[in-house]
Structure 1
Amino acid sequence: MIIPWKELDPATLDSLIESFVLREGTDYGEHERSLEQKVADVRRQLSSGEVVLVWSELHESVNIMPRGQFHD
């Protein structure tokens, strides 16, 4: 289920995004970026609709994924 991220409290959204970018295995290429830069990148992707915030009932967790990979 897609979570309408605009309806979340800004602090909650920031926490979800930070948790996402801090996961092990997240690769940002040759140049290291600060946490703030990574959070801003994900926020821009949410704003543009490139990625969506998704609730998984199976895993009881929230994830951020490319819109094209989300299937109801």
Structure 2
Amino acid sequence: MIIPWEELQADTLTSLITEFVTRDGTDYGLNETTTDTRIEQVKAKLRQGEAVVLFSQSTGQCNIVARNSL
């Protein structure tokens, strides 16, 4: 189920994005970027509609995914 990111409280959204950009296995290529930069990049993707917040009812977890992967 897609959750409108605009309906999340700001601190909840920031926590979700922070967990997403810092999780193990996340690869940002050859150029290392700061966590703050990665958070802003994900927020921009959400604003542009290129990424969505997805809630899994079976696991009870949220994730951020590319819209075109749905």
Q: TM-score, normalised by structure 2?
A: 0.96
Poorly superposed stretches of 4+, deviation over 4 Å = none
Matched, 1:44 2:29: no
Unmatched tracts of structure 2, length 5 or more? none
Give 1:68 shift: 1.4
Describe how 1:1-72 pairs up with structure 2 within 5 A.
Answer: 1-70=1-70
Task: Report the Cα distance in structure 2 between the residues aligned to 1:12 and 1:4, rounded to whole angstroms.
Answer: 13
- The 2-side partners of 1:68 and 1:40 are apart by 20
- Structure 1 counterpart of 2:41, one-letter code: D
CA distance in 1, matches of 2:3, 2:18: 17
Question: Identity of aligned pairs, percent?
Answer: 43
Give secondary structure in 2 for the equivalent of 1:33.
coil
Once residues 55 and 8 of structure 1 are traced to their aligned partners in structure 2, the CA distance between those partners, rounded to angstroms, is 12
Q: CA separation in 1, counterparts of 2:69 and 2:30?
A: 25
Paired residues, number: 70
